[in-house]
Amino acid sequence: MSSLKLKSAHSNCENCPVHDKLNLQKLGVNAENADFIVALAGNPNTGKSTIFNALTGLRQHTGNWTGKTVARSEGSFVFHDNKYKVIDLPGTYSLISSSLEEEIARNFVLFGKPDVTIIVTDATRLERNLNLVLQMLEISSRAIVCVNLIDEAAKNGIRIDAKVLSRDLGVPVVLTAARDETGIYDLLSAIEKIAVSTDPVKARTIFDISEEISNPVNELDAIIRKEYPELPNSKWLAIRLLDNDKSLIEALKKGELGQLKNDAKKAVEPNILPQDDNDILGASNKLKGKLPRDYHDKLVERTYAEAAKIAEKAIIKSGEKRKFNLDLFLDKIFISPLFGYPVMFLLFAFMFWLTIAGANVPSALLFDFLVSTVHPFLKSGAEYLHFPWWLSGFLIDGMYLATAWVISVMLPPMAIFFPMFTLLEDFGYLPRVAFNMDNLFKKAGAHGKQVMTMMMGFGCNAAGVVATRIIDSPRERLIAIITNNFAICNGRWPTQILIATIFIGALVPAHLAGFVSSMAVVSVALLGVLLTFIISWGLSNTVLKGQPSVFSLELPPYRVPKFWQTLYKSIIDRTLFVLWRAVVFALPAGAVIWLISNISIGGETIAFHMVHFLDPFGWFLGLNGIILVAYIVAIPANEIVIPTVLMLIVLLTGAQNHTDSAGVIFETDSIESLGGLLKNGGFTLLTAVNLMLFSLIHNPCSTTIYTIFKETKSLKWTMVSTFLPIVLGIIVTATIALIWRLNA
């Protein structure tokens, strides 16, 4: 937590008088006892999370695609002795919610009663953004319109006149370029002014509606006002109820309407409420009949017409546009029928190759240090301190060693892959991949945005499952959740890389080894993509039948990432975060492995019994008992599969080669000798191939399973997501083993 950290000298000091900047304390997530609540709302991809980070000093994930934030997150800061709690909301296109993350945002603004709502807009798409702004202002006047991305607008020859805009909207307008923290100080002052003001909440007058519409609206408005005189936005409510707004009607039925009031404390006893609210609902149902059929469209068009009028006055087109349009040029390449797919393939293949080739040396160094140097040192230390053998075994050969393994196999590839992926994400390439691939997803009966959740899955499947919230249709969302497991997560990359390097790379001359093993990993990843299509297709033609639903995807402008900032953030947030999770699981796993390898029943260790019990089935799958035991131990986290395999081999078979006593360690010092170790454990090329396949096709880790349950709230679909891949994995590996042996 970066609490109390103050930004020191900064390049944008013109905008932030130093003495006042010092009045800002970024408090991170410490949001207890806040004086004021500030909500960040607005269209997707306008920079809400970037502003959130600038205010709180937190590092909420940002990314150049719509729908990066799917759940709300909180943080806080202190400014001039007042403590503010900030809520970063998912982006929404309108208040008429049609997807889960939009509902989260809208309900917070409606029922969460923030003291200040910052409506973040994109200066380059002001007109469409104003559509949402106007809707928001119809609910509450305690708002600030933040026109962000003014740096990008300036590059396109657009300037925004904040004064004119503020006059037309009736609320303060602040211009910012949040990524450089330009205008953040102005924003703070504006927040403060609204927060401390005691003006009651007003709602923007809703005008320009034809009589045909305004009569029923006014009639219902009068009824609502009779029941709730203090309600500031009764007319808005009337309009929405007449428009058949499901979640508002729901809220009304539950008696939550009292919460919409200025002052929550005055809320009437809930027992009386439903009756009154039923009156309102009844009246609304009756009045609906009087409305014209295109009532809804009329409302939307009215808001747009007003937005267009306001935008026209506020936008100053200055000078010429850039002559060379980079976006168009890049899209010509990335989207082109000729180059689109090859470029996509080469880009990802290059990323994998760089990860594999680049991870080799640091992995060996880490291994050398943690396993070959520190481990013996710890052992002799324990001996010196007269630790009993079981204690030093349990702690050092079990817990420490498993952790050391995990760090040396995981850290280097992640530290290379994550920053590259984050750069690509910030650049704006991911939505283009979705655009390119949508056709295939459509044919599989799935949603094009599934490709984005899949790519999040390449980082972490649990994150990928949460990201499916960007898919509106429940059917297609479920397909995306079930198939997310076929995106190889970072916990599985090390298995792929290590096995490919040792067994596949060894098949070719040394100078080709790096390339060939990369291609092997890429092939497995592509097989995962293929399986995603096949399973999606299968699901949407059987249990999840249905029409392909609405697909709309906003393609953001390309944005040159801030290189060092991105690098830093992705190392700290993603790499170390994921590594930490792996370590947390590795410690107990190491303990378990040591215990099962050292506790004997009937003269043989538990691990021995397990391995021998599973060996026949493992053989049938072209694997072995050790691998299956490793997968059982690794249910909480895939990242410990390889360390478990290695430790089990050492503990069960490798002891004579490397050490003197059972249950103790080996002194391998490079990837090559790891290969020797695995071969000692009975690994063949078939084992290697099937291990790579099995690593792709098996049950999700327990965290992902739990996340699936939370997201679907269905035991049935959680079970399907868990067992479908494992059954498929068994079928695939068994088939390959059979064919392999028949041909051998």
Ligand X SMILES: Nc1nc2c(ncn2[C@@H]2O[C@H](COP(=O)(O)OP(=O)(O)OP(=O)(O)O)[C@@H](O)[C@H]2O)c(=O)[nH]1
Binding site for Mg ion (CB under 5 A): 48-49, 68-69
Residue nearest to ligand X (CB): 91
- Nearest residue (CB) to ligand X, 147 versus 460: 147
Is residue 66 at the binding interface for ligand X, with CB under 6 A as the rule?
yes
Is residue 62 at the binding interface for ligand X, with CB under 6 A as the rule?
yes
Helices (H), 11-123: 18-21, 48-56, 100-111
Among 177, 578, 630, 688, the residue binding ligand X under the rule CB under 6 A is 177
C-alpha span between 424 and 530 (Å, rounded)? 22
Is residue 179 at the binding interface for ligand X, with CB under 6 A as the rule?
yes
| Residues at the contact surface with other proteins, assessed by CB under 8 A | 93-94, 96, 98, 124-128, 131, 296-297, 300-301, 304, 331, 335-337, 340-341, 435-436, 438-440, 442, 448, 472, 548-557
476 CB burial (10 A radius; 0-12, 13-18, 19+): buried
Among 44, 445, 625, 700, the residue binding ligand X under the rule CB under 6 A is 44
DSSP class per residue in 499-517 = HIIIIIGGGS-HHHHHHHH
C-alpha span between 89 and 102 (Å, rounded)? 9
| Helix axes of 430-443 and 326-334: crossing angle, nearest 10 degrees | 40
Kindly indicate which of the ranges 65-73, 213-221, 330-338, 597-605 contains the residues binding ligand X, using the contact rule CB under 6 A.
65-73
Q: What tokens appear for 712 in the block?
A: 């679907």
- Nearest residue (CB) to Mg ion, 34 versus 89: 89
C-alpha span between 684 and 655 (Å, rounded)? 20
- Nearest residue (CB) to ligand X, 63 versus 729: 63
DSSP 386: T
- Nearest residue (CB) to other proteins, 152 versus 192: 152
Place of tokens 């009736």: 170
C-alpha span between 582 and 589 (Å, rounded)? 10
Is residue 91 at the binding interface for ligand X, with CB under 6 A as the rule?
yes
Is residue 75 at the binding interface for ligand X, with CB under 6 A as the rule?
no
In one letter, which amino acid is 58? Answer: L
- Nearest residue (CB) to ligand X, 64 versus 483: 64
Is residue 15 at the binding interface for ligand X, with CB under 6 A as the rule?
no
C-alpha span between 336 and 328 (Å, rounded)? 11
CB 348, CB 518: distance < 8 Å: no
* 149 interacts with, out of Mg ion, other proteins, ligand X, none, CB within 5 to 8 A per kind: ligand X
Helices (H), 368-489: 375-384, 389-392, 401-427, 430-443, 450-459, 461-467, 474-483
Place of tokens 């990524």: 179
* 472 interacts with, out of other proteins, Mg ion, ligand X, none, CB within 5 to 8 A per kind: other proteins
- In whole angstroms, the minimum distance from the beta carbon of 131 to ligand X comes to 16
Angle, CA of 17, 19 and 23, to the nearest 5°: 105
- In whole angstroms, the minimum distance from the beta carbon of 561 to other proteins comes to 19
- Count of CB atoms within 10 A of residue 431's CB? 22
Place of tokens 């299956």: 628
- In whole angstroms, the minimum distance from the beta carbon of 47 to other proteins comes to 15
Kindly indicate which of the ranges 60-68, 326-334, 502-510, 730-738 contains the residues binding ligand X, using the contact rule CB under 6 A.
60-68
- Nearest residue (CB) to ligand X, 63 versus 445: 63
Kindly indicate which of the ranges 18-26, 66-74, 244-252, 337-345 contains the residues binding ligand X, using the contact rule CB under 6 A.
66-74
- In whole angstroms, the minimum distance from the beta carbon of 418 to Mg ion comes to 19
The two beta strands, 36-42 and 116-122, are parallel
Rounded alpha-carbon distances, angstroms, from residue 146 to 104, 494, 611, 647: 21, 44, 62, 56
Shortest CA distance to 109 belongs to which of 159, 9, 201, 38?
38
- In whole angstroms, the minimum distance from the beta carbon of 290 to other proteins comes to 20
Kindly indicate which of the ranges 147-155, 375-383, 389-397, 479-487 contains the residues binding ligand X, using the contact rule CB under 6 A.
147-155
C-alpha span between 224 and 362 (Å, rounded)? 68
Among 63, 445, 681, 725, the residue binding ligand X under the rule CB under 6 A is 63
* 256 interacts with, out of Mg ion, other proteins, ligand X, none, CB within 5 to 8 A per kind: none
- In whole angstroms, the minimum distance from the beta carbon of 127 to other proteins comes to 5
Among 30, 50, 517, 703, the residue binding ligand X under the rule CB under 6 A is 50
Q: What tokens appear for 509 in the block?
A: 């001359």
Among 97, 148, 484, 668, the residue binding ligand X under the rule CB under 6 A is 148
- Nearest residue (CB) to Mg ion, 235 versus 574: 574
Sorted by sequence, the CB contacts under 8 Å of residue 470 that are 6+ apart come out as: 66, 67, 70, 99, 101, 449, 452, 453
* 436 interacts with, out of ligand X, Mg ion, other proteins, none, CB within 5 to 8 A per kind: other proteins
How many residues sit close enough to ligand X to count as binding (CB under 6 A)? 25
The interface with ligand X within residues 389-428 (CB under 6 A) comprises: 426
C-alpha span between 431 and 449 (Å, rounded)? 8
The two beta strands, 600-601 and 604-605, are antiparallel
C-alpha span between 393 and 387 (Å, rounded)? 9
Within 13 Å, how many C-alpha atoms sit on residue 680's CB side? 22
Is residue 69 at the binding interface for ligand X, with CB under 6 A as the rule?
yes
- Count of CB atoms within 10 A of residue 207's CB? 8
- In whole angstroms, the minimum distance from the beta carbon of 285 to other proteins comes to 19
Kindly indicate which of the ranges 61-69, 229-237, 369-377, 407-415 contains the residues binding ligand X, using the contact rule CB under 6 A.
61-69
- Nearest residue (CB) to other proteins, 300 versus 595: 300
Chain contacts with ligand X (rule: CB under 6 A): 44-50, 62-64, 66-69, 90-91, 148-149, 151-152, 177-179, 426, 559
